Amino acid sequence: MSPAELFALPFMQRALIAALLTGLAAPAIGTFLVQRRLALMGDGIGHVAVTGVAIGLVTNTSPTWAAVVVAVLGAVLIETIRERGQTNGDVALALLFYGGLAGGILVSGIDGQSASSLNRYLFGSLTTISAGDVIVTMVLSVAVIGLSVGLAPQLFAVAQDQEFARVAGLQVRAYNLLVAVLAAVSVTVAMRTVGLLLVSALMVVPVATSQQLTRSFRTTIGAAMVLGAFASVGGLVLATFASYKATVAPGPTIVLLALACYVVAWPIGIWTRHRARLREPFAEGQIPLHESCEEHPHAHGPGCGHLAVPHDDHVDYVHDGHRHAEHGAHYDEH
Ligand SMILES: [Zn+2]
Ligand SMILES: [Zn+2]
Ligand SMILES: [Zn+2]
Which tens digit of pLDDT belongs to each residue from 48-58?
A: 898 888 888 88
Ligand nearest to the CA of 330: 3
What pLDDT shows up at residue 286?
A: 47
Task: List CB contacts of 15: < 8 A, sequence separation 6 or more.
Answer: 126, 127, 129, 236, 250
What pLDDT shows up at residue 318?
A: 79
Spacing, Cα 37 to ligand 3 middle (Å): 29
Spacing, Cα 222 to ligand 3 middle (Å): 25
Q: Does residue 140 or residue 37 have the better pLDDT?
A: 140
| 224 — pLDDT class (breaks 50, 70, 90) | very high
Ligand nearest to the CA of 329: 3
Q: How far apart are alpha carbons 78 and 88 in whole angstroms?
A: 13
Ligand nearest to the CA of 309: 1
Asked whether residue 280 carries a pLDDT value surpassing 60, the answer given is no
Q: How far apart are alpha carbons 328 and 140 in whole angstroms?
A: 42
149, HSE (Cβ side, Cα atoms, 13 Å): 18
What pLDDT shows up at residue 282?
A: 46
Spacing, Cα 164 to ligand 2 middle (Å): 13
Strands 307-311 and 330-333: unpaired
| 119 — pLDDT class (breaks 50, 70, 90) | confident
Asked whether residue 169 carries a pLDDT value surpassing 90, the answer given is no
What pLDDT shows up at residue 230?
A: 96
Asked whether residue 227 carries a pLDDT value surpassing 90, the answer given is yes
Whole-prediction pTM? 0.76
What pLDDT shows up at residue 283?
A: 45
Spacing, Cα 31 to ligand 1 middle (Å): 29
Spacing, Cα 314 to ligand 1 middle (Å): 6
Spacing, Cα 217 to ligand 2 middle (Å): 13
Instruction: Note whether 191 and 49 are within 8 A (CB).
Output: yes
Asked whether residue 186 carries a pLDDT value surpassing 60, the answer given is yes
Mean pLDDT of the chain: 83
Of 223, 199, 201, the residue nearest 212 (C-alpha): 223
Task: List CB contacts of 244: < 8 A, sequence separation 6 or more.
Answer: none
What mean pLDDT is predicted for residues 184-201?
Answer: 89
| 233 — pLDDT class (breaks 50, 70, 90) | very high
Ligand nearest to the CA of 322: 2
Ligand nearest to the CA of 306: 2
The residues whose Cβ lies within 5 A of ligand 3, an ion, are: 327, 332
Asked whether residue 100 carries a pLDDT value surpassing 90, the answer given is no
Ligand nearest to the CA of 296: 2
Based on the number of CB atoms within 10 Å of its own CB, is 290 exposed (0-12), middle (13-18) or buried (19 or more)? buried
Ligand nearest to the CA of 160: 2
What mean pLDDT is predicted for residues 303-324?
Answer: 78
Instruction: Note whether 51 and 107 are within 8 A (CB).
Output: yes
Ligand nearest to the CA of 300: 2
Asked whether residue 143 carries a pLDDT value surpassing 90, the answer given is yes
| pLDDT tens sequence across 284-304 | 444 445 545 556 777 788 778
Among 20-29, 101-110, 150-159, the least confident range = 101-110
Spacing, Cα 267 to ligand 2 middle (Å): 25
| 278 — pLDDT class (breaks 50, 70, 90) | low
3-state DSSP assignment of residue 45 = helix
Q: How far apart are alpha carbons 246 and 255 in whole angstroms?
A: 18
